[in-house]
Amino acid sequence: MEQFSLEKYLKNPSRKVVTRSGHNVRILCTNQRGNMPIVALVEFETLDGVQIFYHDGKNESHREYDLFFAEEESTEFEKAVRNILARYISNIDCFPETIKSEAESLLDLARKELKPEIDKEIDKAYKNIDTIVYNNGYKQGQYEIMEDLPKWKKAEKDEELDCHVAIQQDGRVVLSDFVQKDEYYITLDVLKTLPKEE
């Protein structure tokens, strides 16, 4: 929130004004004689009250009634924090029962406001886990299938074989019973293990 200024208010009287404690304020007069020219109606929970203020929006008696420009609508949590600060800022020796009650109230509000975000993060985490499990299972299945498929072997030396093999030569496959060092080949009997089209 921005500290109230009579000069700024007069330039734009449509700006929403609130007290430090978050109560709505309706400015009734800005030119009352004396050093407190602002007269305003403060909307309390049960009863509205008229208060007077200095040019800077400060209230002589109650600091929690000081005026501010409301930038945007406060959440319930922000209003509760503001109320506590306004109520106890000058009163360090406040009652422990009151503090406990306010703390429980704040905690409930925080849980309520954060729950949708936490639920969203939990859903996202579960989806990520599902994706990871699926991908890992899929990859594992691929590895298992690949282990059973015939593979091209690399010849370690020039060698004459006692069977025909398929050889990769210059981007084509040829049949031969001889392989040269570093040529890739596959035996024909291994190809019999490949699945047949239905």
Please tell me which residue, 187 or 138, carries the higher pLDDT value. 187
Element (H, E) at 108: helix 96-148
Lowest mean pLDDT among 43-47, 73-77, 127-131, 158-162: 73-77
Of residues 88 and 41, the one with the higher pLDDT is: 41
Distance of alpha carbon 153 from alpha carbon 113, whole angstroms: 63
Encode pLDDT of 117-170 as tens digits: 888 888 777 777 767 766 676 666 666 666 667 777 888 898 888 887 888 777
Dist. CA 42–CA 22, nearest whole Å: 10
Select, from the ranges 20-24, 102-106, 119-123, the one with the highest average predicted confidence (pLDDT): 20-24
Sheet holding 184-187, edge to edge: 153-154, 184-187, 159-169, 172-179
Looking at residues 34-50, what average pLDDT do you find? Answer: 89
104 close to 80: Cβ distance less than 8 angstroms = no
pLDDT in the model for residue 48: 85
Q: What per-residue confidence (pLDDT) applies to 151? A: 78
Cα separation, 154 vs 196, in Å, equals: 26
pLDDT at 94: 45
Query: What confidence score (pLDDT) does residue 93 get?
Result: 42
Average pLDDT, the chain: 79
Q: Residue 77: its pLDDT value, please? A: 66
Indicate the helix (H) or strand (E) that contains 39: strand 38-43
Mean pLDDT of 36-55: 90
Note the pLDDT of residue 45.
80
